Amino acid sequence: MERKEILPLQNTGVIFLFYKEGKILVEDRPESDATYSNLTIIPGGKIKFREGELAEKALDREVEEEFGKGVKITEKFDLGEFCDFTKKGNLQRPRAFLITEFKGKIVNCEPEKGRHRWISINDYDRELPLAASKLIVERA
């Protein structure tokens, strides 16, 4: 019998909710996305916890990867951890951050992963189908 390493449930990722002038930044994922096919989500990324990366460091790295080196977060709030299941039934436990101040222009550096757009904060319930995404906006 093959032995698999069992790891404790850890922060598996970071979610970054950018808020500016009554709008939030969302990402429309393509059909080819294995986890969020054809869904609108709050952008985020993975924590390299096997390498000892912490959530705050992952946040900075993922924002740079997704939006470029020109975007620098100047004010953020830690919204805590959320548990959610992917479409495949895998449990995730990301840490969410509300970004209220940042410098630079948001540019989509990974267009193959999805399209970013700003939506009115008042439209989040209609635009974001996942319960965890709605909870993050409501907590913010």
CATH code for the domain in which residue 96 is found? 3.90.79.10
97 domain-assigned: yes
Number of domains in the chain: 1
Rounded to the nearest 10 degrees, how much is the dihedral formed by the CA atoms of 67, 109, 94, 77?
Answer: 10
Which residue has better confidence, 93 or 113?
A: 113
Residue 78 in any domain: the answer is: yes
Q: What is the pLDDT of residue 4?
A: 52
Q: What is the pLDDT of residue 6?
A: 47
> Would you say residue 2 lies in a domain?
no
**Would residue 92 count as lying in a domain?**
yes
Q: How far apart (Å, rounded) are the C-alpha atoms in residues 45 and 77?
A: 17
Q: Which domain holds residue 29?
A: 13-139
Asked, for residue 8, whether it belongs to a domain, the answer is no
User: Is 1 part of any domain?
Assistant: no
Render pLDDT for 58-107 as a digit per residue (tens, 0 to 9).
999 999 999 999 999 999 999 998 887 766 777 778 899 999 999 999 99
C-beta contacts of 76-85 below 8 A and 24+ residues apart: 76/100, 76/101, 77/140, 79/17, 79/136, 79/139, 79/140, 80/139, 81/11, 82/15, 82/132, 82/135, 82/136, 83/132, 84/130, 84/131, 84/132
In a domain, 7, yes or no: no
Give the pLDDT of residue 87. 66
pLDDT band at 9 (very low <50, low <70, confident <90, very high): low
What is the pTM assigned to this prediction? 0.86
Q: Flag whether 58 is in a domain.
A: yes
Q: Tens digits of per-residue pLDDT, 37-59?
A: 899 999 999 999 889 999 999 99
**What local confidence, expressed as pLDDT, does residue 12 receive?**
81
Residue 90: the pLDDT is 73
* Among the ranges given (2-16, 59-73, 117-131), the one the predictor scored with the smallest mean pLDDT: 2-16
